[in-house]
């Protein structure tokens, strides 16, 4: 395949300066809907999902506004076109190895586009782990068409003899239509190792196959570690052992005891958390989060979490998500807390991700400034009239005159204009009472966006004599109706929505296990937060770093936020809010069901989430919320079905956040579980035990049996001890082996 100098659209003659209008009309004449993109850009100027057209008059009107607009070509059922997008020559080479049909092909700014037939029901996907640097643009997507200009100045161009006039559209390759890597990868071929993103699934499948071959537990561990060394990069040894034990428990009911290799114990000085990257976020949100992190030299996880809260601030109450039935919906508010020490540049990232929201609020206030002043003046004057009439009514001796005055007061009240307020989207901190008023005055939605953790102090009773009053916060997470009943105000909130996006120091999380703040977990508040501990970049930052967020990336983010903010609230004939309902495509629904089933299993007494069921129980719902937010960034509200690719990214993020939640609840230690585990651990180490029975532990530490099970489970999860039963001739005794590595600690 070789490049060509023919940079015109199909059927058009070569020209040094492309005639983009002429090319756009040529596409439209073929029945291909098109729309304008920004000059040398990929960002749509219009709502492309609904406004893409083949109407030549509309197309002429667009390009008369700016003849340098790039051409957006709609993919999917309306055009009959799907495009395989290779981001590099290496990706194209991989595609050829898998089998690539001959079809119309475009040289893009950095890669290649292969035009194919749209396959029924096929939607976009991006960043699939088994197909690096390869995307699919199909239903719900678009591509930049020749002879548009790339941001690097290169022209999109058709290869010689490979334009739409030269070759028919081929069917999409089978390998691009396969839904999961497993459909293409037999178990036996996994033994040579797999790339990142496939390791856990591959290991689970291999362990299952070894079990069916009756390989011993010890040999399974040896084989798994040998296999893991071939991965790029390898899994952590603890993760390998955890996966093996999980498969053994599922297939055999228990983990064998005896001779086996121990993993490195996780002591109480910290938990390893999974890295979160901006690759999980779609389009302009992912691009901007990545650029902000590079500019500030901070972990991408920080921008990811603040970014999700920013999106939720824009769309909550306007849109909800329902997995399969209308009686179960999840609102699109989300509670995130990002935890980093001082001097980690939390504030610059926070400001960058929330700046468009602040700017929009300020702009709305300026637009309404004159109207607010005029309305306030009228209301003030009318209120003075009412006060005067009331005085006259009080002193009136004639009942008819009094009745006339009362009616006049009523008429003035009825004619008085409603108070006009500039819309408010967020606050830095708020008491419960103030939050009620803010919700009542702002269509029942509000966000707490702050780069400090004062809100936890307030929720724990900072201004109310340490009396915890968080009902309105909890109700606004789930949209539960509530009433405001105070001397100064009475109002009903039918479906309030509250988003949190806060960044705090670790000491704030530590304090949540102290004093009145302990009640925050008991009342269910902490279980609603998605905690994140971004990796520290201290010691790795380059003081000579001059990278700045590219202007086009910043503009794309600002315009994306603006579009979401400008989505209007929908109301029915009676004035009730009717949000847009996002549904799940069948594959996305199936993946969410599988995830929910796995979470439910892990909530059991032996599961990974057993010690934080308050958090884990809300994880499937939070996954729906995250998927809804990602979908709106990628597709907007015009497409109301969430794809399996979007759901996969949401589930991946929520799975990664499990380790972060463990870290948070380990630090908080709001119940006796962690302190009990530490007590048992210290007792073991003092006595240099190689093993012990539960009975001995009970007697030595004077702990009740019901308060010992969870601490012992914590020690097992940390690879500090392993349980087994010993038959003493009577009742089986619960015993524990101590990790021999601890002898050297």
The 3-class secondary structure across 464-533, one letter per residue, is: CCCCCCCHHHHHHHHCCCEEEECCCCEEEECCCEEEEEEEECHHHHHHCCCHHHHHHHHCCCHHHCEEEC
Res 422: pLDDT? 81
Bond preceding residue 69 cis, omega within 30 of 0: no
Across the range 686-707, mean pLDDT stands at: 80
The rounded distance, in Å, linking the Cα atoms of 426 and 420 is 18
Is 613's pLDDT higher than 50? yes
| Topology match between the domains 20-177 and 673-744 | no
Q: Which stretches of 7-117 are DSSP H helices?
A: 20-29, 48-51, 56-65, 89-98
pLDDT of residue 496: 92
Least-confidence region, from 25-34, 112-121, 207-216, 411-420: 207-216
Yes or no: domain 20-177 corresponds to CATH 3.30.1330: no
Residues of the chain with pLDDT > 90, as a percent, come to 36
Per-residue pLDDT at 488 exceeds 70: no
pTM: 0.58
Strand bridging mode 81-86 / 134-137: antiparallel
Report d(CA 448, CA 458) in Å as an integer. Answer: 12
Name the DSSP letter for residue 128.
-
Q: Which helix (H) or strand (E) holds 330?
A: strand 330-331
Query: pLDDT at position 717, please?
Result: 82
Q: What is the predicted pLDDT for the residue at 218?
A: 72
Break the chain into its structural domains and give their ranges: 20-177, 181-252, 262-367+411-538+550-670, 673-744
How many residues can be counted in the chain? 745
pLDDT band at 233 (very low <50, low <70, confident <90, very high): confident
3 state DSSP class of 87: coil
Residue 36 dihedral angles phi and psi, to the nearest 5°: -85, 145
Task: Give the pLDDT band of residue 301 (cuts 50, 70, 90).
Answer: very high
What distance in Å separates the CA atoms of residue 595 and residue 678, rounded to the nearest whole number? 32
Q: Residue 556's pLDDT band (boundaries 50, 70, 90)?
A: very high
State how far the Cα of 333 lies from the Cα of 495, in Å rounded to an integer.
12
Can you tell me which residue has the tokens 């690719």? 645
Question: Class for domain 673-744, per CATH?
Answer: mainly alpha
- Range of lowest pLDDT (11-25, 163-177, 407-421, 426-440): 11-25
* Residue 347: CB atoms within 10 Å: 12
**Vertex 270 angle, CA 269 and 276, to 5°:** 165
Helix/strand/coil (H/E/C) assignment for every residue in 425-447: CEECCCCHHHHHHHHHHCCCEEE
Which is more confidently placed, 9 or 422? 422
CATH topology (fold) of 262-367+411-538+550-670: Rossmann fold (3.40.50)
Mean pLDDT of the chain: 83
**In degrees to the nearest 10, what's the CA dihedral of 277, 278, 281, 283?**
-150
Pick from 26, 24, 20: nearest CA to 35: 24
Asked whether 669 and 513 are in contact (CB, 8 A), the reply is yes
Residue 570 has pLDDT above 70, yes or no: yes
> Residues with Cβ < 8 Å from 54, sequence gap 6 or more?
28, 29, 31, 32, 33, 34
Residue 16 has pLDDT above 50, yes or no: no
Q: What is the mean pLDDT of residues 387-412?
A: 89
Would you say the C-alpha torsion 692, 693, 699, 702 has a positive or negative sign? positive
Task: Identify whether the C-beta of residue 538 lies closer than 8 Å to the C-beta of residue 343.
Answer: yes
């Amino acid at each position: 395949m070789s490049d060509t100098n023919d940079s015109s659209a199909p059927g058009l003659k070569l020209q040094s300066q492309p005639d983009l209008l002429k090319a756009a009309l040529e596409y439209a004449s073929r029945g291909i809907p098109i729309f304008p993109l920004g000059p040398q850009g990929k960002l749509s100027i219009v709502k492309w999902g609904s406004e893409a057209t083949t109407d030549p008059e509309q197309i002429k009107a667009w390009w008369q506004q700016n003849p340098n607009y790039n051409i957006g070509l709609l993919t999917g059922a309306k055009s009959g076109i799907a495009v395989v997008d290779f981001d590099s020559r290496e990706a194209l080479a991989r595609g050829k190895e898998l089998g690539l049909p001959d079809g119309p092909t475009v040289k893009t700014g950095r890669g290649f586009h292969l035009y194919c037939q749209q396959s029924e029901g096929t939607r976009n996907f991006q960043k699939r782990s088994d197909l690096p640097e390869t995307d699919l643009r199909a239903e719900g997507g678009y591509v930049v068409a020749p002879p548009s200009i790339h941001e690097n100045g290169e022209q999109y161009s058709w290869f010689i003899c490979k334009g739409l006039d030269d070759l028919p559209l081929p069917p999409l390759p089978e390998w691009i239509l396969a839904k999961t890597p497993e459909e293409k990868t037999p178990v036996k071929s996994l033994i040579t190792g797999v790339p990142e993103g496939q390791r856990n699934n591959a290991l689970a499948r291999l362990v299952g196959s070894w079990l069916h071959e009756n390989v011993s537990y010890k040999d399974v561990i040896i084989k798994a570690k040998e296999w893991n060394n071939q991965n790029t990069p390898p899994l952590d040894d603890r993760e390998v052992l955890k996966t093996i034990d999980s498969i053994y428990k599922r297939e055999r009911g228990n983990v064998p005891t005896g001779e086996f290799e121990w993993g490195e114990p996780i002591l109480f000085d910290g938990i390893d958390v999974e890295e979160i990257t901006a690759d999980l976020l779609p389009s302009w949100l992912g691009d901007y989060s990545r650029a902000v992190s590079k500019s500030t030299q901070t972990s991408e996880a920080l921008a990811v979490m603040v970014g999700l809260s920013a999106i939720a601030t824009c769309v909550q109450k306007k849109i909800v998500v329902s997995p399969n039935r209308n009686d179960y919906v999840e609102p699109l508010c989300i509670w995130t807390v990002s935890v980093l020490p001082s001097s980690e540049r939390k504030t610059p990232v926070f400001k960058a991700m929330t700046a468009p929201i602040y700017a929009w609020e300020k702009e709305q206030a300026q637009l309404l400034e004159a109207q607010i002043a005029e309305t306030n003046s009228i209301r003030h004057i009318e209120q003075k009239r009412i006060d005067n009439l009331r005085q006259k009514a009080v002193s009136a001796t004639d009942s008819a005159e009094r009745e006339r005055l009362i009616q006049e007061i009523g008429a003035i009240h009825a004619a008085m204009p409603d108070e006009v307020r500039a819309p408010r989207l967020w606050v830095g901190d708020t008491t419960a009472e103030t939050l009620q008023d803010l919700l009542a005055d702002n269509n029942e939605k509000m966000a707490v966006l702050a780069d400090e953790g004062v809100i936890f102090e307030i929720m724990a009773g900072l201004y109310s004599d340490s009396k915890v009053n968080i009902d309105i916060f909890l109700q606004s997470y789930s949209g539960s109706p509530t009433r405001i009943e105070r001397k100064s105000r009475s109002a009903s909130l039918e479906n309030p929505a509250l988003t949190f996006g806060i960044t705090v120091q670790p000491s704030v999380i530590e304090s949540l296990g102290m004093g009145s703040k302990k009640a925050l977990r008991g009342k269910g508040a902490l279980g609603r937060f998605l905690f994140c501990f971004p990796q520290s970049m201290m010691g790795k930052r380059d003081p000579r770093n001059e990278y700045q967020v590219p202007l086009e990336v910043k503009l794309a983010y600002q315009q994306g936020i603006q579009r979401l903010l400008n989505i209007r609230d929908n109301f029915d004939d009676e004035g009730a809010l009717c949000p847009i309902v996002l549904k799940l495509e069948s594959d996305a629904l199936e993946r969410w069901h599988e995830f929910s089933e796995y979470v439910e299993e892990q909530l059991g007494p032996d599961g990974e989430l057993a010690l934080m069921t308050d958090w884990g129980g809300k994880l499937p719902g939070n996954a729906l919320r995250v998927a809804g937010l990602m979908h709106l960034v990628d597709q907007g509200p015009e497409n109301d079905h969430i794809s399996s690719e979007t759901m996969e990214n949401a589930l991946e993020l929520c799975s990664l956040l499990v380790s972060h939640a463990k870290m948070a609840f380990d630090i908080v230690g709001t119940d006796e579980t962690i302190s009990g585990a530490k007590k048992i651990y210290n007792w073991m180490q003092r006595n240099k035990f190689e093993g012990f029975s539960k009975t001995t532990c009970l007697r030595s530490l004077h702990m009740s049996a019901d308060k010992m099970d969870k601490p012992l489970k914590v020690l097992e999860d940390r690879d500090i001890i392993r349980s087994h039963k010993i038959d003493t001739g009577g009742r089986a005794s619960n015993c524990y082996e101590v990790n021999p590595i601890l002898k050297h600690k």
